[in-house]
């Protein structure tokens, strides 16, 4: 298994729709295992394939207390949503340290395929409902900050871009110092 690199918002690759999975083979099983490992290590409760630069309709999630119930949904579709809505504070592995309240249907029913291609249904409320909708949104190229006001979204974008520049600068400084055999100050 391998840990995959998670794309950071506002990377344009996060805003593109994903294609359905048609081949249920070893490569798919490996990708799903790697996505699970990446999600647990991050740590997060959900991860969609486009977040690791694979534009396929695949999501993994685990909203269990002990983090021992990995759910894998291939080609997931929401087939029922409740009238009742709920506000929930969401975060995303592609937007580190950003948490904002988003309103969504309180309960959803989803149909999806497993890694062998068998269809099944899952119904959830609470965190599971939020997570299912959030991850399925990723497959459409939608990120949770898309539900916020343009002003708020721009502020988040600016903050994340600034952070990214700082990370790159620190990495470059580290490489430079390493080449010269100097110690990097912390
Ligand atoms: Ni996300």
130 and 108 in a single domain? The answer is yes
Please check whether residue 78 is in contact with residue 96, taking contact to mean a CB–CB distance below 8 angstroms. no
* Residue ranges in the chain whose pLDDT is less than 70: 179-186
Q: What residue numbers bound the domain in which 184 lies?
A: 149-186
103 and 160 in a single domain? The answer is no
> What's the distance, Cα to Cα, between the start and end of the chain in Å?
32
Q: Is the residue at 141 inside a domain? A: yes
> How do 71-81 and 58-61 pair as beta strands?
antiparallel
Q: Using the mean position of ligand 1's atoms as its centre, give its distance from the Cα of residue 77 in Å.
A: 17
3-state SS, residue 148: coil
111 and 155 in a single domain? The answer is no
136 and 153 in a single domain? The answer is no
Domain count, the chain: 2
The last residue of a domain, from among 131, 147, 163: 147
| Residue 109: per-residue pLDDT | 98
Q: Using the mean position of ligand 1's atoms as its centre, give its distance from the Cα of residue 23 in Å.
A: 25
| Residue 185: per-residue pLDDT | 55
86 and 169 in a single domain? The answer is no
Q: Is the residue at 4 inside a domain? A: no
| Residues with catalytic function | 135
39 and 105 in a single domain? The answer is yes
Distance separating alpha carbons of residues 110 and 75, to the nearest angstrom = 10
Q: Using the mean position of ligand 1's atoms as its centre, give its distance from the Cα of residue 115 in Å.
A: 21
Q: Using the mean position of ligand 1's atoms as its centre, give its distance from the Cα of residue 91 in Å.
A: 7
């Amino acid at each position: 298994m391998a840990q995959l690199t998670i794309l950071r918002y506002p990377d344009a690759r996060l805003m593109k729709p994903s294609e359905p999975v048609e081949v249920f083979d070893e490569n798919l099983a490996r990708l799903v295992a790697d996505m699970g490992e990446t999600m647990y290590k991050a740590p997060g409760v959900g991860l969609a394939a486009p977040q690791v630069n694979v534009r396929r309709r695949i999501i993994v999630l685990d909203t269990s207390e002990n983090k021992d119930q990995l759910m894998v949904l291939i080609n997931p579709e929401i087939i029922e949503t409740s009238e009742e809505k709920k506000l929930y504070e969401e975060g995303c592995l592609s937007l580190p340290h950003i948490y904002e309240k988003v309103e969504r249907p309180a309960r959803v029913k989803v149909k999806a395929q497993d890694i062998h291609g068998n269809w099944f249904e899952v119904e959830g409320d609470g965190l599971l409902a939020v997570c299912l909708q959030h991850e399925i949104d990723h497959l459409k190229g939608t990120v949770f900050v898309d539900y916020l006001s343009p002003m708020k979204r721009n502020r988040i974008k600016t903050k994340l871009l600034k952070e990214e520049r700082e990370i790159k600068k620190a990495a470059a400084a580290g490489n430079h110092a390493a080449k010269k055999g100097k110690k990097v100050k912390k």
